[in-house]
Amino acid sequence: MRNTLMVSLAASALLAMNAHAVDLVQTYQQALANDPTYTSARYALSASNEAGVQGRAVLLPTVGFGGNYSRAGESWKTITNNYNLQLTQPLFRPAYWQQYQEGKLSVAAGEVRFAQAEQDLILRVSQAYFDILTAQDVLASLQAQESAIAEQLASAKRNFDVGTATITDTNEAQASYDLVIAQEIAAKNNLEVARNVLQQIIGKPPAPLATLRPGVQLSTPQPAAIETWVSSAEQQNFGVIGQEIALDTAKHEIKKSRAGHLPTVDLVASRSHSDVSGSPVPFYNISQMSNSIGVQWTIPLYAGGAVNSSVRQAVALENKARSDLENARRTAALNARQAYVGVSSGLAQIKALEAAEISSQSSLDSNRLGYQVGVRINIDVLNAQQQLYSTRRDLAKARYDTLMNSLKLKSAVGTLKEEDLQQINGMLVPAVY
């Protein structure tokens, strides 16, 4: 009865732990709510949206109300009270029009930067998630290796006690055991570091994570042509789009600077009131209203060379923006090539490691049997064990790296979305501890 109760409690605890396990999409949603870098990008987007309003405002009329109140004369008896209401509507101001266009581009640039921040968050969360799974796999492999070596060490000691093995077998097993213990300590530290990285993104200690389903099959990128991906990256990558907007902004800045040579025309309408009282001179005491409407123009003649200097500066910045755009295109193409090659080579590596895992398992089984019948020595079994566990670790990491490269490939072409994480979620299973 007691044993049954203990089993039930253990099962309940396991189910509770699994119930609190989170998958990749849930981790990403936590990051959306808590990652300070993403939050900063969201506020930056709100700020950049105001540039459109400010750019439009310079084309709209401005209304101002002002006046003055004063006392003068003997005993300060003369009181003057004036006020003025004035409306100014720009009619011809080329610089304002360019500023309006730059405001719209600033809004577009803010949206691009925010979209890039969303993609960066997906990559950061995914990398941190898979780093934890990698660290867990390494630790689990070392723990399993420790258990296997412990059995081998115990067997070597028994065989030495009965005289069927030399002390060399015991020493070799002991050395392997001590080494794996040291590696296990380092693996625990690496796991803690990986968990801390994810904690920084989601703002709290990560719960147990869903793991990759054993034997999951990964697909090749579609379309299966690297130049198609590279071409898309050169056109759709958010870094490229952002630099295209920067180049357009620089062109408008040149036009705005050149507008400093052009005349400006404004429509001005005003209503004024003037009131003077208490003056010893009777005809000074007046109260009157006046209205006016007309056109005000200004022709710039000389500004000390400032306009020409600003034009030269804007032209230089345009050339800089053009160079930055070319660099962004090359960087996007390079990232797309690297990610595509990473996926392709990763799939080939996975296939090779899957075959190596089968071979390593067969080698271990053969060496164990050979050790039992005396045709193999202890070090042969230990080496076979090491080979098997190393192959399994490499296989798991190859799968994680391939998944990450597939996400980076989509990021390079600007198509990375949360739906891509949902596809990976279908490959995950709840963690079991």
Strands 78-92 and 264-277 turn out to be antiparallel
Task: Please give the mean pLDDT across all residues of the chain.
Answer: 89
Q: Residues 195-230: pLDDT tens digits? A: 999 999 999 999 999 999 988 999 999 999 999 999
Q: What is the mean pLDDT of residues 109-128?
A: 97
The CATH T-level fold of domain 62-92+263-299 is: Outer membrane efflux proteins (OEP) (2.20.200)
Residue type, 192: E
34 falls in which pLDDT band (50, 70, 90)?
very high
Domains of the chain by residue range: 2-58+94-261+305-429, 62-92+263-299
User: What integer pLDDT is reported at residue 198 of this predicted model?
Assistant: 97
pTM, two decimal places: 0.86
Tell me which of 156-170, 256-270, 353-367, 405-419 is least confident. 156-170
CATH topology match: 2-58+94-261+305-429 vs 62-92+263-299:
no
Question: 399: buried, middle or exposed (CB in 10 Å: 19+, 13-18, 0-12)?
Answer: buried
Residues 257, 318 contacting (CB under 8 angstroms): no
18 falls in which pLDDT band (50, 70, 90)?
very low
User: What integer pLDDT is reported at residue 59 of this predicted model?
Assistant: 95
pLDDT score of 187 more than 60 = yes
pLDDT score of 20 more than 80 = no
User: What integer pLDDT is reported at residue 10 of this predicted model?
Assistant: 40
Q: Which residues contact 225 (CB under 8 A, 6 or more apart)?
A: none
Share of the chain above pLDDT 90, in %: 70
The CATH classification number of 2-58+94-261+305-429 equals 1.20.1600.10
Q: Quick one: which of 93, 405, 417 has its CA closest to 267? A: 93
Cis peptide before 223 (omega within 30 of 0): yes
Distance in angstroms (rounded) separating the CA atoms of residues 282 and 279 = 7
Q: Which residues contact 338 (CB under 8 A, 6 or more apart)?
A: 408
User: What integer pLDDT is reported at residue 5 of this predicted model?
Assistant: 40
Phi, psi of 395 (to 5 degrees): -65, -45
Tell me which of 55-69, 75-89, 146-160, 238-252 is least confident. 146-160
Share of the chain above pLDDT 70, in %: 92
